[in-house]
A and B are shown apart, each in its own frame.
Chain A
Amino acid sequence: MGDLVWIFTSAMLVNNFTLTLFLGLCPFMGVSARVSTALRLGAADTFVLVLASLAAWFLNTFILEHAPYLRLISFIIVIASLVQIVEMVIKKVSPALFRELGIYLPLITTNCAILGLAIFQTNRGYGLAQGLFFAVGAGAGLTLALVLMASIRETTELASVPALAKGMALVLIIAGSLSLAFMGFAGLGAG
């Protein structure tokens, strides 16, 4: 059990997907202007991460043993079709939720966090439960980073920022400081 808790904490804080592994940067830079949107995207991301983790575990255990060189190709196909299916199911079952998440779901397919999770999980040889904890931790970490970033950006809208720094340069430097703060977790669990 301790092992699982550690995997969760590590994925969420110590090796935060966005701030220390640079995965899922596109939404981090693009969609993180409002806290409410950030939260919704974070939730959708977490959901797909969990599904991707299940799918990767299934592929690794039952299929890829015989053809490891097909790993990347099969991961990307499965993730893309998975997102498509989830989109259809949500649309049918809960139109309200679909309206909430709608635009973000297809974007998630090309989010490197999802493929990254599948590859990391494979490289580290995680089992089913470990993979699930890893996915939920990674999703929580992504959401945390998105919300932090969105809160800071909402504040900087009212601050007087030098004209030169406006836009991406500012976002990157804020992300740098956030990442610096997350480096503080690096010692966690080492002792």
Chain B
Amino acid sequence: MTRQATTPNQDLLRGIWRENPVLIQLLGLCPALAVTNSVANSVAMSAATMFVLLGSSFLVSLLKRFVPGEVRISTYVLIIATFVTLADMTLEALVPTIHKALGAFVGLIVVNCIILARQEAFASRRPVGRAMLDALGTGAGFTIAMLMMGTIREVLGNGTLLGYQVFGAAFEPWVVFALPPGGFLTLGFILLFLSWIQRRRAEQARVREWPEGVGERRAA
């Protein structure tokens, strides 16, 4: 964690794009690849993860004075597991079909490294309000990545968006995108696209900095 103080705004916004947990830090790949074969599943998974992040960041930040350093990781894992159990039961009660589609992956939120990383790096050493902002930002970043994956995979793999037909009846769905290989390929291509944008931006910045002839004039 950086030592300089951050503003509340930075705490909130950082996780959404600049330090996006999935697309930039490549954490939490397991849910991002496994359950994003439809938008509905992605939404349910993101909501559950957001809930666990907010809940555990709140508790960890609140209890930071009482948790001995030696057992802090185990304590965080226990707190996270408690909230995951709550999320699991809530999903089962509210949306049983989606809960069934997500299967074991709801339970596996416990070992989602995004959540543990935020506790260790941020919530355990900041006040409650800041920890909640950070959790909100990180959760939003995770949701954005999940929705990107879910939308691409459902539209291409199934020809639908949230269950509604997007293309005409003549569209032959690319089934592979709804299957496991599609998860790897979609994320791979998203990363390629992002690094292409980044390179283009860097090139444009260079061109703006040194318009033609400026170098010589400065030297002269």
Contact of A20 with B by CB under 8 A:
yes
Cβ–Cβ < 8 Å partners of B78 in chain A: 73, 76-77
Q: Do A172 and B191 form a contact, CB below 8 Å, given A123-B103, A164-B196?
A: yes
Within 8 A of B (CB), among A45-95: 69-73, 76-77, 80
- Contacts between chains A and B (CB distance < 8 A), count: 106
Q: How far is the CA of A175 from the CA of B186 in the complex (A)?
A: 11
* Contact indicator A179/B181 (Cβ below 8 Å): yes
Q: Do A116 and B108 form a contact, CB below 8 Å, given A72-B85, A164-B195?
A: yes
Q: Do A115 and B26 form a contact, CB below 8 Å, given A69-B85, A73-B85, A175-B184?
A: no
Q: Can you give 22 contacting A-B residue pairs, CB < 8 Å?
A: A22-B33, A22-B180, A26-B29, A69-B85, A72-B84, A72-B107, A73-B82, A77-B74, A110-B113, A110-B116, A112-B108, A115-B111, A119-B108, A120-B104, A164-B196, A164-B199, A169-B189, A169-B195, A172-B184, A176-B183, A179-B183, A183-B180
Contact of B89 with A by CB under 8 A:
yes
Which of the four size classes fits the interface of chain A?
35 or more
Interchain nearest-CB distance for B27 vs A (Å): 9
Contact of A190 with B by CB under 8 A:
no
Give the interface SS of chain B, mostly helix, strand, loop or mixed.
Answer: helix
Contact of A44 with B by CB under 8 A:
no
Cβ–Cβ < 8 Å partners of A80 in chain B: 74, 77
Interchain nearest-CB distance for A84 vs B (Å): 10
In the complex, what residue of chain A is closest to B184 when comparing beta carbons? Answer: A176
Q: Do A112 and B111 form a contact, CB below 8 Å, given A172-B187, A176-B181, A183-B181?
A: yes
Contact of B202 with A by CB under 8 A:
no
In the complex, what residue of chain B is closest to A120 when comparing beta carbons? Answer: B104
Q: Do A173 and B111 form a contact, CB below 8 Å, given A22-B180, A25-B29, A110-B116?
A: no
Instruction: Point out the residue from B29, B111, B188, B195 that lies within 8 Å of A176, measured CB to CB.
Output: B188
Within 8 A of B (CB), among A96-145: 110-112, 115-116, 119-120, 123
Q: How far is the CA of A115 from the CA of B31 in the complex (A)?
A: 14
Q: How far is the CA of A26 from the CA of B30 in the complex (A)?
A: 8
Contact of A177 with B by CB under 8 A:
yes
Instruction: Point out the residue from B30, B111, B112 that lies within 8 Å of A22, measured CB to CB.
Output: B30
Q: How far is the CA of A117 from the CA of B40 in the complex (A)?
A: 25
A: which residues have CB within 8 A of B?
19-23, 25-26, 29, 69-73, 76-77, 80, 110-112, 115-116, 119-120, 123, 164-165, 168-173, 175-177, 179-180, 183
* Contact indicator B111/A111 (Cβ below 8 Å): yes
1/0 per residue B69-82: CB within 8 Å of A? 00000100110011
In the complex, what residue of chain A is closest to B185 when comparing beta carbons? Answer: A176
Cβ–Cβ < 8 Å partners of A23 in chain B: 30, 108
Within 8 A of A (CB), among B32-87: 33-34, 74, 77-78, 81-82, 84-85
In the complex, what residue of chain B is closest to A74 when comparing beta carbons? Answer: B81
Q: How far is the CA of A123 from the CA of B111 in the complex (A)?
A: 18
Instruction: Point out the residue from B26, B110, B112, B176 that lies within 8 Å of A168, measured CB to CB.
Output: B26
Contact of B166 with A by CB under 8 A:
no
Instruction: Point out the residue from B81, B184, B195 that lies within 8 Å of A179, measured CB to CB.
Output: B184
Interchain nearest-CB distance for B198 vs A (Å): 9
Q: How far is the CA of A118 from the CA of B117 in the complex (A)?
A: 23
Cβ–Cβ < 8 Å partners of B84 in chain A: 72
Within 8 A of A (CB), among B169-208: 176, 179-185, 187-189, 191-192, 195-196, 199
Cβ–Cβ < 8 Å partners of B89 in chain A: 69
Cβ–Cβ < 8 Å partners of A19 in chain B: 180
Contact of B88 with A by CB under 8 A:
yes
Interchain nearest-CB distance for B37 vs A (Å): 11
Instruction: Point out the residue from B85, B104, B113, B179 that lies within 8 Å of A116, measured CB to CB.
Output: B104
Cβ–Cβ < 8 Å partners of A176 in chain B: 181-185, 188
